[in-house]
Structures are given as C-alpha cells and as structure tokens.
Amino acid sequence: MRRFPVIWILAGFAAGVFGLFAPATAQIGPEPRVGSRIPQKAETASREFTRDTIRHFADCVVKRQPKLAREFVLDRSTLQFGNRYYPLADSYCLGLQSDPFYDEIALKMGGDTMRFALAEALLQSEFAKIDPANFTTVAPLVLPALEEKNYQPETNRSYTPEELKKLDENRRRDLLTLVEYRFGECVGRADPEGSRTFLQAMAESDAEGVALQALMPALSSCVEKGAQFKLDRTVLRGAVALAYYSLAHAPKAAVPAAAH
C-alpha cells in the first residue's frame, strides 16, 4: 500500500521528517526542553508568515539544488514525493527563515504545496526565456496515474475505522490534486500572457489583484463541470505556476504527416 508523502521540516535539524498532513502550515515554538525534539507550546503561524516562509524556503532550495528541483517539478509520473527527492526537504533553507523570537520553525507541506512552490521559484529566473505564445503548440501535459490498489486496505492486516477513512481521504485528495493540475493547464493555455502577469505580481499586492481580475474569464471557463474545490490565492498561484513551467518545458505536439 502506498504511503502518502507530506514534508515535515524542522529548522535546525539535519534532515526533514516525513509524514502526512494537509495544507501547508508553519509552526513556531520556543526552545524545547533538553533532550526533546518536540517544540514546547508550539504556535501555528499566521497565514502571511506561513506564505512568506514557503516562498523563501522554495527560493533557497532552487538556488541550492536547481537541477533536482527542476526534475521534481517536471516529474509527472507520480504524485509521490519519492526518495530521490528527499534532499529537497532542506532544513538549512528553513533555518534561514527563523524568527529571532523563536528557536525553531517547523514547516508541514501537504498535497502539492512543495511542487507548486518550487515551480513558482524556478519561474523567477526563467520568465525572460519563456515565450507563452508557444504554449499553443505544446502537447497535452501528462497527468500522474492513480492506482486503485494504493487506496485499498492490505489483506494481511486489520484496519481501524479511522485508517479506512484515511484511505478514502487519500483518494479524494489525490483526485482533487489532478483537478488542480488540469485547471492550471487550462488557465495557462487559455490566457498565457495573463497567467504570466499574475505570476510576476507580488503575492497579496494590488498588482496581483488587478492581474487576477483580468484572468477571471480564463479561470471561470476552466472550472470543470461538476467539480467542487476551493482555491485560495496561494493554491491558485501554485497550480498556474506548475502548469506554466510545465508548458514551457513540454515537448511540442506532433505534427500530422501531410497527405499525399
């Protein structure tokens, strides 16, 4: 049975610890007791602090490991955060964001938060090289295949009701991730220039708001019939950034041979 990855990184520790959580959150806490690796009285950081922490973390990871970050973002074979990508859970990059009032910061990222964040970070140095007009010639992006066996209980052990519920939640979460993938690609193709303007605007700025309004026709047209999902600006930026970066690096569609 598949283990669903989410990255849990604690600044100051040599390596990230991996578990399962949902949306990205940052936790900050005062110095732990001697001999303890669990922050005492940990506090959940504000949305703004969490967003900025993720952005700075992703920028740092891309600077330190650009090749691996690029491979991870463009890997559409699976939704999993495979072993070969574990070095991207770089606690050094999280440590740079430490607040002087706190001794440790822990960052938990779920779903495709890591991939979305790295895609946006990679784009910052590549915007000038990308011609969005070429997106119309790009072949449809490959979607990671979901295997039903990953959501079914194993036959050699018993499961609690909570564990069975979690398997179903995992399936629904992955299906939602694929909806976000398709949505981002649709927006990137429908309005590539508008997507670029939106992604180049600073998050939560007036310019982002203006760009978002201009992008609304594409956003509205790309919502799949019957799809039910909520996108805040962070997830929206991530989905569009991943699609934009993927379209920029995808092969062109094959041209049909001319009839003789």
Q: Which of 48-52, 53-57, 216-220 comes out lowest in average pLDDT?
A: 48-52
Please tell me the predicted confidence (pLDDT) of residue 23.
43
Residue 242 lies in a domain: yes
Task: Select from 61, 84, 119 the last residue of a domain.
Answer: 119
Output phi, psi for 11, to 5 deg. Answer: -60, 135
Do 21 and 45 lie in a common domain?
A: yes
Q: Which of 36-50, 82-96, 106-120, 204-218 has the highest mean pLDDT?
A: 204-218
Residue 1 lies in a domain: no
The residues, ordered by sequence, that sit 6+ positions from 72 with a Cβ below 8 Å of its Cβ are 81, 85, 88, 114, 115, 118
Residue 7's nearest CA partner among 89, 121, 92 is 89
Share the mean pLDDT of the chain. Answer: 79
Find the domain containing 218 and state its range: 130-249
pLDDT in tens, 82-111: 889 989 988 888 776 555 555 566 777 765
Q: Is pLDDT above 80 for 190?
A: yes
Please tell me the predicted confidence (pLDDT) of residue 154.
87
221-to-33, 176, 213, 245 alpha-carbon distances in Å: 53, 18, 14, 21
Do 109 and 143 lie in a common domain?
A: no
Q: Is pLDDT above 80 for 135?
A: yes
DSSP 142-178: PPPPP-GGGGS--TTS---HHHHHHHHHHHHHHHHHH
Do 110 and 157 lie in a common domain?
A: no
Do 148 and 63 lie in a common domain?
A: no
